[in-house]
Amino acid sequence: MIFYLERLAYRLTAHWIFFWMVLIPPLVYVGYMALTPSVYTLSSSFAVPQDAPVAQTGSPTGVAPLAPLLSSPSRWESFVKSNFNSQRIMGYPRGYGLPISPKKTNTIYNEALTNLTLRVEDNNLRTIYTGSDKELGSHLVFYYSTTLHQRIQEGYKRQGAHIKAPVIDVPRMDPLAPATRLAWSSDRALPTLLWLFAGLAAFVFVHILLDTMDSSYKSEKQIAEDTRLPILGRLPNLNAIPVGKDTPQHHDL
């Protein structure tokens, strides 16, 4: 076994100049990810007065002004949590029989809390998603923009206003912004290391395969069985001995 490992180590050392091939898989992965759209920005908006009331979720009569919802991230986070419904976000009809898995529900919930924002631009209330999941982002933007529109309409209704008078605009999806491509992001570190390990494993495997196909002796036992002579000892690899002025260039054995 030691004889075989020494042979393999010698082969790897002799072909170290090809070690750069180990870098090919991680470089291909990093290059592909750099050219792939990584961050999408989707939004939906509708015209609304900045003093619009918002019906409080869970209260039959409560009304809150829109301004704190815009200025306070904690208020917006509470709105996202209180109106979260994974099946309605994904557009499933009422009475949909197949439940969404807990893992998928958790993903939807985290994406909503992390990547959804709310702002007013040109008198339009805009719900914005910025993240890597284009399809889910579209569902989240449409659902929360529509829900917010309904809560504002309900807020006016609770104040005694006519339901169509204050907000007649309906949520609409804005034109899709160009996707952002990131040259590098921290979440690619682990896959890059795995691809590097895969390249190293492939490099070693190829040399093991080449060594297996080599017809020369691979162990002392194989030499003894083939020659029918006992093995009395082993000579070191003299080529590995550094040659200096005090070291003879040739060795007489």
Res. 250 pLDDT band, cuts 50 70 90 = very low
Task: Mark whether 24 and 84 lie in a shared domain.
Answer: no
Q: Give the per-residue pLDDT at 253.
A: 39
Res. 214 pLDDT band, cuts 50 70 90 = confident
Provide the β-strand partners of residue 116: 129
Q: Give the per-residue pLDDT at 157.
A: 87
Provide the β-strand partners of residue 129: 42, 116
Residue that terminates a domain, selected from 127, 156, 180: 180
Domain assignment present for 219: no
Q: How many domains, the chain? A: 2
Residue 14 to residue 5: CA distance in whole angstroms: 14
Residue 147 to residue 155: CA distance in whole angstroms: 12
Task: Mark whether 93 and 128 lie in a shared domain.
Answer: yes
- C-beta of residue 126 within 8 angstroms of C-beta of residue 43: yes
List pLDDT tens digits, range 73-117. Answer: 999 999 999 999 999 999 887 776 678 899 999 999 999 999 999
Res. 151 pLDDT band, cuts 50 70 90 = very high
Tell whether the model's pLDDT for residue 251 goes beyond 50: no
Domain assignment present for 253: no
Domain assignment present for 109: yes
Q: Determine the distance from the C-alpha atom of residue 226 to the mean position of all C-alpha atoms in its chain, rounded to a whole number.
A: 56
SS3 assignment, position 210: helix
Task: Mark whether 131 and 27 lie in a shared domain.
Answer: no
Domain assignment present for 243: no
Domain assignment present for 136: yes
Across 31-59, average pLDDT: 90
Task: Mark whether 198 and 76 lie in a shared domain.
Answer: no
Q: Print the domain residue range for 139.
A: 39-180
Task: Mark whether 74 and 172 lie in a shared domain.
Answer: yes
Domain assignment present for 86: yes
Residue 41 to residue 145: CA distance in whole angstroms: 15
Residue 245 tokens read as: 């002025």
Residue 242 tokens read as: 């550094």
pLDDT, mean over the chain: 84
Task: Mark whether 3 and 112 lie in a shared domain.
Answer: no
Task: Mark whether 43 and 29 lie in a shared domain.
Answer: no
Task: Mark whether 115 and 173 lie in a shared domain.
Answer: yes
Domain assignment present for 222: no
Tell whether the model's pLDDT for residue 178 goes beyond 80: yes
Task: Mark whether 127 and 208 lie in a shared domain.
Answer: no
Task: Mark whether 25 and 121 lie in a shared domain.
Answer: no
Q: Give the per-residue pLDDT at 228.
A: 78
Task: Mark whether 61 and 171 lie in a shared domain.
Answer: yes
Task: Mark whether 160 and 77 lie in a shared domain.
Answer: yes
Residue 221 tokens read as: 């036992």
Domain assignment present for 171: yes
